[in-house]
């Protein structure tokens, strides 16, 4: 393919050009990730909103390429948990990823298969390096859309099943008017 010249801005579809691939995730796509299943079902009945959408550049998912794009994660909560992405390991575990905050406020929750976990706050201009082997999930802790840029080896693949089995140990919840990180009770 030819080189691309794009501009990072708060409108991902415009920034990534007409060939952008958009992947919306609705509340009904997120069953099993929030602690309060009843609150999620109520949200699904109440219009099943898009919780986040990912916009990917038209890059082939093959060796040598870097996939890149932007995620828009809308504000809101399911029970006391902030809206968040499903989260995944990369199928090829030894591949990393870079996130760059563009707009809004949130964090990345990361975790390894041997049980280490961290919460990394993100704001516009902040960069997170997700090292190889760390599962990652983003969370919108603010009142406006949380938008970030990402790039990773295009053939990394996504393993959602491992995260669905183990869950993340850290939850980001709304407590007495502010975000707080708590350990999930088992
Ligand atoms: C790609 C990546 C992000 C996420 C996106 C949606 O490797 O980390 O582009 O894919 O933020 O999150 P998931 O894929 O967990 O639904
Ligand atoms: Zn990833």
Determine whether the shortest distance from the Cβ of 153 to ligand 1 is under 6 A. Answer: no
Query: Would 90 be classed as within a structural domain?
Result: yes
- What is the pTM (predicted TM-score) of this model? 0.95
Query: Would 5 be classed as within a structural domain?
Result: no
Query: Would 128 be classed as within a structural domain?
Result: yes
- pLDDT tens digit at each of 186 positions of the chain: 888 877 777 788 777 777 788 999 999 999 999 999 999 999 999 999 999 999 999 999 999 999 999 999 999 999 999 999 999 999 999 999 999 999 999 999 999 999 999 999 999 999 999 999 999 999 999 999 999 999 999 999 999 999 999 999 999 999 999 999 999 987
Q: What is the CATH number of the domain that holds 142?
A: 2.60.120.10
Query: What is the reported pLDDT for 9?
Result: 75
Determine whether the shortest distance from the Cβ of 141 to ligand 1 is under 6 A. Answer: no
- The DSSP string of 104-117 is S-EEEEEE-TTS-E
Query: Would 171 be classed as within a structural domain?
Result: yes
Note the ligand closest to the C-alpha atom of 163.
1
Query: Would 3 be classed as within a structural domain?
Result: no
Determine whether the shortest distance from the Cβ of 54 to ligand 1 is under 6 A. Answer: yes
Distance CA 56, CA 37 (A): 30
| Pocket-testing residue among 32, 54, 134, ligand 1, by greatest number of atoms within 8 A of Cβ | 54
How many distinct structural domains can be found in the chain? 1
Q: Is 30 helix (H, G, I), strand (E, B) or coil?
A: helix
Sign of the alpha-carbon torsion through 86, 58, 71, 48? negative
Range of the domain at 157: 12-183
Query: Would 37 be classed as within a structural domain?
Result: yes
- The DSSP string of 50-70 is EEEEEEE-S--SSTT-EEEEE
Number of neighbouring beta carbons within 10 Å of residue 104? 22
Query: Would 57 be classed as within a structural domain?
Result: yes
Query: Would 178 be classed as within a structural domain?
Result: yes
Which atom of ligand 1 is least distant from the CA of 130?
8
């Amino acid at each position: 393919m030819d080189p691309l010249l794009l501009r990072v801005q708060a409108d991902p579809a415009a920034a990534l050009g007409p060939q952008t691939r958009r992947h919306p995730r609705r509340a009904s796509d997120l069953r099993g990730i929030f602690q309060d299943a009843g609150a999620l079902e109520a949200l699904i009945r109440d219009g099943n909103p898009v919780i986040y959408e990912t916009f990917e550049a038209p890059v082939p998912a093959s060796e040598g390429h870097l996939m890149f794009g932007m995620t828009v994660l809308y504000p809101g909560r399911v029970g006391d948990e902030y809206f968040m992405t499903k989260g995944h390991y990369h199928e090829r575990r030894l591949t990393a990823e870079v996130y760059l905050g563009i707009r809004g406020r949130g964090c990345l929750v990361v975790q390894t298969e041997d049980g280490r976990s961290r919460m990394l706050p993100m704001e516009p201009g902040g960069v997170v390096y997700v090292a190889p082997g760390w599962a990652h999930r983003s969370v919108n802790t603010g009142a406006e859309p949380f938008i970030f840029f990402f790039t990773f080896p295009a053939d990394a693949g996504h393993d959602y099943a491992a995260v669905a089995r183990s869950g993340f140990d850290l939850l980001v919840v709304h407590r007495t008017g502010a975000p707080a990180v708590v350990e999930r009770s088992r």
